[in-house]
Structure 1
Amino acid sequence: MIDLYSWATPNGHKAHIMLAETDLPYRLHRIDIGKGDQFRPDFVAINPNSKIPAIVDQEGPDGRPITVFESGAILVYLAQKSGKFLPTAPRRRYDVLQWLMFQVASIGQMYGQAWHFRSVAPERLTYAVERYTNEVTRLLRVMEHRLTDSAYLGDSEYSIADIAAWPWVKGSEKYGQDMRNFPQVTRWINTIAARPAVQRGLNALSAAA
């Protein structure tokens, strides 16, 4: 059994979707980041960085419990545990892993900053808003180019690279983007949104309430 500690954020949805896609058994523990649950000592013992999601697999690789935090690492772990969404052939595997790292290092960071300065910051700083909005646009152009040649980000098949990026990119209009400029990204968003497991993942916290 896997214990999942999470909340309804793009990074949280990565784990929700992956668990729904793999049908691995899990228990969901709600970590309300608006109330500061991520700073409770019991959660910090699981993730010292006080971020969601995190998992504790009671049946780890050696039969003993293992803790995994950071959403990218969780996706790799669950892919290896389930044997799904991460190719074993080296070239295909590294195609997926490099696009997974593209999300972790670039999409998550730039989308997060764009959201902060566009919607949360107490003072609207034009330079910051333009910088991060433009960076989101650049990342979408990178994705558009990739998805012109490939059905999915990491490979010709759906993978953890798509599961990682989709929760962030699906709402790009909120980050100042005109998605009419990105028809292949829009096609990719809609294709993934139609997957029943993705819908179950998005609703995981509501279903557990």
Structure 2
Amino acid sequence: MIEVYAFATPNSLRVPIVLEELGLPYDLRSVNVRKGEQKLPEHLARNPNGKVPVLVDPDGPGGERLVLTESGAILIYLAEKTGRLLPAEGIARARVFEQVFFHLTGIGPMFGQAGYFQKQAPEQLPIALNRFNSESARVMTVLDGTLGAQPFAAGVNFTIADIAHFGWIWRRAFADIDLQDYPNVQTWYDRVASRPAVERAIQRVTALIPEE
């Protein structure tokens, strides 16, 4: 069975979503980043970068065991392994990659930095707050325009592009993003959040948070 090492983080959530959508059984194992477990030797052996998620597929290419890090790479790997959630060729495939990389190089990093400088930095730095807050708003405006023209991120079908976007928008409060400012993203978010597979994935990752 596939193993997923994760926590209730935006990047982690993508992996249970894609596995639930694909109907692949998996064992979800907690790595509590709030306690620094991602830096423990046993996890660094899986991912020297000390991050979650990590996917372990005992039936990887050629039947070999595969340990894979980086949520974007995991999405692409699982889509190609099953032949689902990613068009096989042409413009439709290119549009999926366009949106996946737009998120991984734009929305995700901006949200992460905005949240850090708002909530976790040891001192308030106006230049950093202005930079990352304004960039978060800008890339969300770009996404809102895209979703105003089509129902899903890469076109008319649900793909791994939507899963890539969903994680950080699910955790948008960290970056102080209000979807009331982005009505097309709000409509898309509600559409994706209501998918049974997404609901199941959210339930599983939120269950990793220990009660205090």
Q: Could you state the TM-score of these two structures normalised by the residue count of structure 1?
A: 0.94
Q: Distance in 2 between matches of 1:118 and 1:124?
A: 7
1:30-69 superposed Cα distances (whole Å, 9 cap, x missing partner): 1111122112222212111111001110001201101110
Offset, 1:206 = 4.8
Superposed counterparts of 1:27-38, under 5 Å: 27-38=27-38
Q: Distance in 2 between matches of 1:204 and 1:82?
A: 22
Offset, 1:205 = 3.3
Offset, 1:27 = 1.1
1:149-173 superposed Cα distances (whole Å, 9 cap, x missing partner): 1111112111111101112123435
Who is 1:123 aligned against?
Answer: 123
RMSD, aligned α-carbons: 1.6
Instruction: Verify: 1:61 aligned to 2:78, yes or no.
Output: no
Q: For the Cα contact (< 8 Å) 1:173–1:179, is it kept in 2?
A: no
When the two structures are aligned, how many residues end up with a matched partner? Answer: 209
Who is 1:109 aligned against?
Answer: 109
Offset, 1:89 = 2.6
Who is 1:95 aligned against?
Answer: 95
Q: 1:198 is aligned with what amino acid?
A: V
- Name the SS of the counterpart of 2:28 in structure 1: strand
Q: 2:163 is aligned with what amino acid?
A: I
1:173-193 superposed Cα distances (whole Å, 9 cap, x missing partner): 553334333111111111111
Instruction: Verify: 1:16 aligned to 2:22, yes or no.
Output: no
Superposed counterparts of 1:126-145, under 5 Å: 126-145=126-145
Who is 1:3 aligned against?
Answer: 3
Which segments of 5 or more consecutive residues in structure 2 lack a partner in the other structure?
A: none
Q: For the Cα contact (< 8 Å) 2:55–2:67, is it kept in 1?
A: yes
1:61-118 superposed Cα distances (whole Å, 9 cap, x missing partner): 2011011100000000111122221111321111001100111111110000001011
- Name the SS of the counterpart of 1:34 in structure 2: helix
Who is 1:40 aligned against?
Answer: 40
Q: Could you state the TM-score of these two structures normalised by the residue count of structure 2?
A: 0.93
- Name the SS of the counterpart of 2:55 in structure 1: strand
Q: Distance in 2 between matches of 1:204 and 1:152?
A: 24
Q: Percent identity?
A: 38
After TM superposition, what 4+ stretches of structure 1 lie above 2 angstroms from structure 2? 170-181, 205-209
Q: Distance in 2 between matches of 1:61 and 1:173?
A: 38
Q: For the Cα contact (< 8 Å) 2:13–2:205, is it kept in 1?
A: no
Q: Distance in 2 between matches of 1:31 and 1:171?
A: 18
Who is 1:180 aligned against?
Answer: 180
Q: 1:119 is aligned with what amino acid?
A: K
Offset, 1:126 = 1.8
Q: 1:85 is aligned with what amino acid?
A: L
